[in-house]
Amino acid sequence: MAMTAVIVIVLGLSAVVLGIDEKRVKEGDNVELACNFPPAFKNPRIEWKFLSGQDIILVYYDGALTTPYQGIAQFYLQGLTLKSVTRKDAGNYVCEVTDSSSGKPEYTELVTTLVVLVPPSVPIARVPTSVTIGSSTTLYCVENDAAPRPTFTWYKNKIKMPEDPKSSPTFQNSSYVINTATGDLTFNPVTKADSGDYSCEVTNEMGRQSSATVTMEAYEKNVGGIVAAVIIVLLILVLIGVGVWFAYSRGYIGKKTNKKVIYSQPSETRSDKNFQQTSSFVV
């Protein structure tokens, strides 16, 4: 990518800020990031920073590599080498150089965007096996490894589906929207013609991969079956109610029985004073 130099003022410094450069490298390879500064800088002070999203991480500071980059980076005066890069290393690397050897402070900055190339993995096609005609449904193509992010393509019965179904005689009876950036395929509404075998494909500059095929069937809403099921449930409830009423009327449930209790008069006991020995036994 071409770089454009511009003159700006940074905290009172005369500054040359170079445009953004770009490096594209396969995951696992080494990459060299340039930090070219003017020859007039005789005593340059160099810092490297890594910008990932909202995070700013120091790579080279105060004349040494920071702890996270020791062993995986190599510093030299006009550049930095990253070894065996991974997808986590993708982002913007900023080289900042200041120098005061000319008598006035000067500043140079170079930003390099590192793109780590990762081939796509085999995607997963999430397709419902049955859908109702007239409803809305979405099919998903899932792939989370590729870098840069891949484009998504859908196939029905091994035929590529165009983004505009009306542009093809094969799909003109369908009404769908394909999001090639996310892999979503939405039918609204579903028609009988949407029944078929579906698969998806992901592609980036490192290659392409295809998913397994999943069959989707579109059915009419079975109103008669629903009505029949409701009638059967009502009949069952009626039969249960009749059974309970019959059992109750016959006294099988809910009827109290009178238990016959016989009371007996306790026998009189003799006190010790009324006790008389009536006979004695001699052995």
pLDDT tens-digit readout, 56-104: 999 999 999 999 999 999 999 999 999 999 999 999 999 999 998 877 8
Cα(34)–Cα(41) distance, rounded to whole angstroms? 16
Residue 18: which CATH number?
2.60.40.10
Tell me which of 117, 140, 174 is where a domain ends: 117
Output the average pLDDT for the chain: 84
User: Does residue 83 sit in the same domain as residue 180?
Assistant: no
Contact 99, 79 (CB under 8 A): no
Report whether pLDDT(3) > 70: no
User: Percent helix, strand, coil in the chain (nearest 5)?
Assistant: 15, 40, 45
**pLDDT score recorded for residue 260:** 53
Please give the C-alpha separations between residue 85 and each of 31, 56, 91, 142, 184, in angstroms, as whole numbers.
8, 18, 11, 25, 31
Top-confidence residue, 106 or 47: 47
Give the domain range for residue 83.
6-117
Examine residue 247 and state whether it is found in any structural domain, yes or no.
Answer: no
Tell me which of 84, 117, 150 is where a domain ends: 117
Cβ contacts of residue 86 below 8 Å, gap of 6+? 27, 28, 116
77's tokens: 């005066």
pLDDT tens-digit readout, 252-282: 766 555 555 455 555 554 444 444 444 443 4
Cα(106)–Cα(95) distance, rounded to whole angstroms? 14
Top-confidence residue, 6 or 42: 42
Examine residue 76 and state whether it is found in any structural domain, yes or no.
Answer: yes
Give the total number of structural domains in the chain.
Answer: 2
| 0.85 surpassed by pTM | no
